[in-house]
Amino acid sequence: MAPRSSSRSVKRIVLLGAPGVGKGTQAEILSSECRIPHISAGDLLRDEVARKTKLGLQAKAFMDDGKLVPDELVIEMMKPHLSGSFILDGFPRTLEQARELDRIVKLTHVVELTAPTDVLIKRLTGRWTCTKCGGIFHESQHDISKCGKCGGKLYQRDDQKPDVVKKRLATYGELTMPLSAFYKRMKLLKQVESLGAPETVAEKIRHALGGKAC
Ligand code: AMP
């Protein structure tokens, strides 16, 4: 059986939570603070799609439609990233993925970020992506006539459109929410309300991780 932690400093953190709850933002903060890799399943999949790899071609239709990519494809993609310390964002998303992850490594922390559904819908449907650099901007905080970083044209990805956003949230409720109970039973789950400024939420996560993140 894999050890829960092979060294005291190893951190194997999962950030759970619905699309739009801020997992990516918080994973970035933790990652730069603790100098451990932020592994986003969604980013890895989008990269496969952009490179038109075999996996990318298989995954694209599911992603565009707000559905989950089949477990076996996602698990194979994630395996090479599951050693040393890491912060996982967007994986696992089903019980099968969580069970497989537990067979591969023992996690040290699971933090579930929470926010009301209407807040999630506003966050997700207001996001625009840059065609050039991939930067994401929210219409409530940025001028969306062009990219604030590189001046590129902004567009809404298929999965940022209202119908698909609703589907993504429904999929989350059906397939990913059961992971809270799974990790609660393993006594790993900490819940943090993800409202307010990113730094405020980051402070709550540090607290949930025992005072400081790393
Ligand atoms: P995200 O950027 O994390 O919201 O992911 C974008 C899309 O990638 C999701 O809507 C799914 O279609 C797909 N995806 C990301 N992570 C997973 C996963 N762990 N399992 C299955 N599909 C995933």
What pLDDT is stored for residue 187 in this prediction? 96
Determine, yes or no, domain membership for 44.
yes
pLDDT of residue 21: 96
pLDDT along the chain (214 residues), means of 10: 55 96 95 95 95 97 92 97 96 98 97 96 93 91 94 92 92 96 97 96 93 71
CB neighbours of 62 closer than 8 A, spacing ≥ 6?
Answer: 68, 69, 70
Residue at 135 is within a domain: no
Looking at residue 213, what is its pLDDT?
66
Q: Which residues contact 182 (CB under 8 A, 6 or more apart)?
A: 95, 98
Give the pLDDT of residue 41: 97
Q: Are 15 and 26 in contact (CB under 8 A)?
A: yes
Quickly tell me which residue has 């956003």 as its tokens: 165
Calculate the alpha carbon distances from 88 to 151, 166, 200 in Å: 30, 23, 21
Query: Would you call 99 a catalytic residue per the annotation?
Result: no
- Give a yes or no: residue 184 inside a domain: yes
pLDDT of residue 5: 44
Total count of domains within the chain? 1
Domain CATH code at residue 196 = 3.40.50.300
Q: Could you tell me if residue 53 is inside a domain?
A: yes
Domain that holds residue 61: 12-116+166-208
Catalytic residue at 8? Answer: no
Amino acid 211: pLDDT: 76
Domain membership flag for residue 186: yes
The string of DSSP letters for 28-82 reads HHHHHHHT--EEEHHHHHHHHHHTT-HHHHHHHHHHHTTPPPPHHHHHHHHGGG-
Distance between Cα 7 and ligand 1 center (Å): 30
* Catalytic position from the list 146, 157, 167, 190: 157
Is 23 catalytic? The answer is yes
Q: Whose CA is nearest to atom 5 of ligand 1?
A: 42
Residue 37 forms part of a structural domain: yes
- Three-state DSSP state, 101: helix
Q: Is residue 121 part of a domain?
A: no
| 190 located within any domain | yes
